[in-house]
Amino acid sequence: MEASMKTDTFKMTIHMVSSLDGFIAKKDNSISWLDTADRYEDGVAEEDAGEFMKTIDCFVIGARTYEHALELSKDFGWPYGDVPTIVLSHRKLPVHRNNIQIYSCDLTTLVEEHLKSRYRNVWCVGGAMLVRDLIRQQLAGEIRISVIPVILGDGLPFFDHIGREQALHLKGITAYKSGIAELWYEIKKNTGPVQNK
Amino acid sequence: MERKTKINAEEGRQELVITREFELPLELLFKAYVDPEIVEQWMGTKVLKLENKKHGGWQFETSDPQGNVVFRANGVIHEFVPEQKITRTFEMENTPFPVQLEFLEFEKLTSDTSRLRMHILFRSVADRDQLLQLPFAQGINMAHNRLQNTVEKLKQDS
């Protein structure tokens, strides 16, 4: 498997930031836990996130993630820039840019008919329901999870009862000076019969 | 991918502090907040008005590809010190969300790097927490990456 982030083949990556106990949000939505005062001296410095983002050619997000991003954009700017952004929703949502498309089809159709022929490096950045469905349906190729050095105890889980076992292959670990550990997994294709959802 | 933008939101308080160190000289970082063309590029909005002075006003508008307005925001500039600070209000038009007060401070770190500190005051804790939902931290970091990339590109083109 090619280790580089740029590939010639289609790849869907799930990216999430979570606590050690697997929560992506606290019940009260407070996010101060995302910036811990931890320091890991042997860690690497922050990479150039801007360079990294340039390799992503499509974002896929759920409806609620989109609505929050739209709220945020009013004062702080649209997060996904000019990169094509696909929103999965059965609801009618306001669309403010040419590069945003709302799809209400099933995920397999989206990936097979719309994404595979057009994009190479697709990132799913939430939310939890979309992540669950992508893993269940074996449509994502990789998971990158940034683990914040904290146990939240309660909140919105990253992996919400996937309901099936999924083998992974560890591709890399990066430890940052901030105490964040990034785990990078390849989702192995299950060869056995697909279990019920 | 680590987030370079840090957000400090203490529980039960109606304020928010956002800091980011940019690999941009101070004058370019400041320009990203005062030059209408650059603002439009990285924020993805249309600048209807941006009067960079005390008692000046600003108004941004975002439309869908058919030209229908999706949202409009405006505010008043209370303090304007070039390459140092902007104090302004932020208000969404036609929404019940109350106006907020924003202190933007710009600081030179080295000749090629600079820091932005945004201190934002909301009317209530609930108003702040409504904004602080996912993907706020990730989203604002990406918006700031966008700012960095947009301004970098301008620097190379010029």
Does residue A115 lie within any of the structural domains? yes
Mean local confidence (pLDDT), B49-72:
93
Range A89-112 average pLDDT: 92
pLDDT for B137 equals: 82
| Contact criterion met (CB < 8 Å) for B2 and A31 | no
Section B116-141 average pLDDT: 88
Q: Do B10 and A32 touch (CB under 8 A)?
A: yes
Residue A86, pLDDT above cutoff 80: yes
pTM here?
0.85
- Whether A105 is covered by a domain: the verdict is yes
- Determine, for residues B44 and A81 on separate chains, whether the beta-carbon distance falls below 8 Å: yes
Confidence (pLDDT) at A106: 92
Band of the pLDDT at A27, cuts 50, 70, 90?
confident
Residue A90 structural domain: 2-23+49-161
B6, B8, B139 ranked by CB distance to A72: nearest = B139
Number of helical (H) and strand (E) elements in chain A, helices listed first: 4, 10
Please check whether residue A62 lies inside any domain of the structure.
yes
Give the side-chain half-sphere CA count within 13 A for B27.
3
If contacts are CB pairs under 8 Å, which of residues 39-78 in chain B contact chain A? 42-45, 62-65, 70-71, 73
Predicted pLDDT at A121? 95
Query: How close B51 gets to chain A, by Cα (Å)?
Result: 17
Does residue A34 have a pLDDT over 90?
no
Task: Name residues 72-111 of chain A within 8 A of B (Cβ).
Answer: 72-81, 94-98
Q: Which residue of A has its CA nearest to B75?
A: A75
Residue range B114-141: average pLDDT?
89
DSSP B85: E
CB–CB contact B44 A46 (8 Å): no
Residue A166 within a domain:
no
Q: What is the pLDDT of residue A193?
A: 53
| CB-based contact, B134 to chain A, within 8 Å | yes
Q: Does A29 contact B129 at a Cβ distance shorter than 8 Å?
A: yes
User: Burial of A46 by CB count in 10 Å (0-12 exposed, 13-18 middle, 19+ buried)?
Assistant: middle
A168 within some domain: no
In a domain, A36, yes or no: no
B62 interaction partners in chain A (CB closer than 8 Å): 73-74, 96
Q: What is the distance between the alpha carbons of residues A112 and B22, in angstroms, rounded to a whole number?
A: 39
Beta bridge partners of A175: A181
Cis (ω within 30 of 0) for the bond into A127? yes
The answer to whether residue A43 sits within a structural domain is: no
Closest by CA position to A86, among listed A112, A113, A114, A108: A114
Q: Is B126 on the interface with A (CB under 8 A)?
A: no
- pLDDT (tens digit per residue) in A163-191: 889 999 999 999 988 899 999 999 998 76
The more confidently predicted of residues B101 and A126 is B101
> Does any CB of chain B come closer than 8 Å to the CB of residue A5?
no
What are the tens digits of pLDDT across the range B62-96?
998 888 898 999 999 999 999 999 999 999 998 88
Which residues sit opposite B22 in a β-bridge?
A: B114
Q: How confident is the model at residue A197 (pLDDT cuts 50, 70, 90)?
A: very low
Instruction: Taking residues B29-34, report their average pLDDT.
Output: 97
Does the pLDDT of residue A47 top 70, yes or no?
A: no
Q: Is B6 exposed, middle or buried (0-12, 13-18, 19+ CB in 10 A)?
A: middle
Q: Is B103 exposed, middle or buried (0-12, 13-18, 19+ CB in 10 A)?
A: middle
Residue A3 has pLDDT above 50, yes or no: no
Asked if B131 and A72 come within 8 Å (Cβ–Cβ), the reply is: yes
What interface predicted TM-score (ipTM) does this complex get?
Answer: 0.85
**What's the mean pLDDT in A43-54?**
71
Q: Measured between beta carbons, which residues in chain B are less than 8 angstroms from residue A65?
A: 134-135
**Domains of chain A: total:** 1
Chain A touched by B124 (CB under 8 Å):
no
Q: What is the CATH number of the domain that holds A124?
A: 3.40.430.10
Let me know if residue A132 belongs to a domain: yes
Which pLDDT score, from 0 to 100, does residue A114 have? 92
Nearest CA of chain A to the CA of B68: how many Å?
9
Residues near A132 by beta carbon (within 8 Å), at least 6 away in sequence: A159, A160, A161, A162
Partners of B71 in beta bridges: B62
- Contact residues for A149 (Cβ-Cβ < 8 A; gap 6+): A20, A36, A38, A179, A180, A181
Cβ within 8 Å, pair B134-A54: no
Distance in Å from the first CA to the final CA of chain A: 29
Instruction: Choose, out of B11, B88, B145, the residue to mutate when testing the contact with A (most A CBs < 10 Å).
Output: B145
